[in-house]
Amino acid sequence: MAVTRTFSIIKPDATRRNLTGAVTKTLEDAGLRVVASKRMQMTREQAEGFYAVHKDRPFFGELCDFMVSGPVVVQVLEGEDAVKRNRDIMGATNPADAAEGTIRKQFAESIEANTVHGSDSDENAAIEIAYFFDDAEIVG
Ligand code: IDP
Ligand code: MG
């Protein structure tokens, strides 16, 4: 299995509750390495662009409101089969459906305020990484 990269966001529900370290530790314990990380306040434009794939979903407006409701931590994660490894440790979108030990089971507040984002394919990982990071910010 190849070493690949994925894109992660620690969402505002988690930064608000001071869970940046706890979430990151869970990612690291799952075998992922944080090779880039920055805490930032997303603009509404950035949130709408990032979630453009969901723009016709009924929750789009509220999702964008939530993503700009406080700081986020955007990260590039590296590891063996990083996209799947991260999706596995994140757990199901709805924390009510998430497996024991996953980030969303441990920490998520609701289907919307669900603590983390993770890319769903290698192609989207590359697009999402480039949306928030310059190459020079990814330092291994
Ligand atoms: P994912 O984050 O598990 O990949 P997606 O279906 O891509 O889930 O949805 C993106 C984000 O939109 C979710 O992480 C969650 O914050 C929010 N979301 C998804 N479904 C709902 C919903 O039914 N109500 C409110 N928010 C939702
Ligand atoms: Mg998704």
pTM of the model: 0.98
- How remote is the CA of residue 54 from the centroid of ligand 2, in Å? 9
The single-letter code of the amino acid at 124 is N
Residues 6+ apart with CB under 8 A from 55: 48
Strand order in the sheet with 3-10: 33-40, 72-80, 3-10, 116-118
The CA 117 to ligand 2 mean position distance, Å, reads 7
- For the annotated catalytic residues, the residue numbers are 117
* Token pair 């890319």: residue: 119
Q: 112 CB under 6 A from ligand 1?
A: yes
Give nearest CA residue, ligand 1 atom 25.
112
Reply yes or no on whether the pLDDT at 104 is more than 90. yes
Nearest-CA residue for ligand 1 atom 16 is 112
Our answer on whether the CB atom of 114 is closer than 6 Å to any ligand 1 atom is: yes
d(CA 65, CA 77): 26
The string of pLDDT tens digits covering residues 6-64 is 999 999 999 999 999 999 999 999 999 999 999 999 999 999 999 999 999 999 999 99
The overall average pLDDT reported for the chain is: 98
When pLDDT is cut at 50, 70 and 90, the band that residue 1 belongs to is confident
Burial class of 92 by CB neighbour count within 10 A (0 to 12, 13 to 18, 19+):
middle
